[in-house]
Chains A and B, each alone.
Chain A
Amino acid sequence: MAVKKDYKDQKLSEKLRDRKYYIPDSNPEFIKDVEKIGQTAAHMCYQCGTCTGSCPSAPRSSYRIRLFMRKSILGLEEEILTDPDLWLCTTCYSCTDRCPRDLAPTDAIMAMRNLAFKRDIIPRNFLQTVQLIYKSGHGVPNNDANRAARKRLGLDEEPETTHKYPEYLPGIRKILDHYRLKENADRILAQGE
């Protein structure tokens, strides 16, 4: 376990924080959860860096997908789930396409995000999408300007989706409610305000 230094000066305490890796600080189950959700054998990563070398987010940020793979193998759950970089993957799948170990680092990242959500760690925009879909069936719903344009094109103002057939919305809401997604989204968003 990392040595607890209860220095009175908080700044000094953080500056001199014990940075060693200690087995008790890690969660060996974490990698198993990642693999189960992501459906990929993440523990087989041999840290070649093909993923980071392929990553469009890496050159403009501190996001290193290879490090997420490494940390998940070491069970550094806390570090992973609280890292804001976790949300910088554009899911372009270039790393997955090129991974010589035939892993899907993208899906491992998605799994880590799923695990973060279980602890209410999730960017707000993701949850706003949930709310929009709950309301209208669409993540990007129709608007008046668009309705006018549709009319001009000879299309119905509302597309042939839940917009035109709102009778399908209860079914969608049932699915979302089954996973208590709307409820959780509302709750987490309210907490952040």
Chain B
Amino acid sequence: MISFGDSANFLRLFGLLGNGALTTLRIFYLTLLFSLPLGLIIALGRMSHLKWISSPLKFFILIMRGTPLILQLIFFYFAPFYMLPEGLRFSLPRFTAAIIAFSLNYAAYFAEIYRGGIESIPRGQYEAAAVLGFTKGQTFFRIILPQVIKRILPPISNEVITLVKDTALVQVLGISELFRVAKNESSRIFSTTPLFVAGLFYLIMNWVVTKVFEKSEKKLSYYQ
């Protein structure tokens, strides 16, 4: 039975979960901030004709997509200490380790989305730009990338929505994000209410994400 009890308890719960949600949001936007540009760089490297650039990146993408994110979180937190020789050992703050793991993991997924988008642009676009005298940089940033962004918005929105929910995984490092806070509160008061309210928080965040992507897609619908 879901009950909010009296209003004082209710406000307390909202305050608690709100704090957790702030941590969730910080992980969310920092991950996007780093992984979106990093993914593009990885995609471009992955498409390089130079084997010594593309092969390691292919391997990187395999590892990041092929192992659990929860394991990667643990790895980036403990590896600098346990895997380095004595003297070089150091520990990352939990939050930093979490951001590194999330950014690299999402960059790998974004890289493949970018690659799909870039490879879907017809060769004629590059050729038209080349005969007009555009440099490679101009061609990419003025001609190709804007078209790529329009095409990849739907798959990117999928990933971003998943990211909102994936942030719950950082609790494995003991970071008090939304889900961990709710779970703790839930066992403390013997009630599932905090968990359901946390679910509502995630839903609201993703409703906003969905709206933002809908708006962006609409903005880019002026051409086909």
**Are chains A and B native binding partners rather than an unrelated pairing?**
no
Chain A contacts to B: CB under 8 angstroms: none
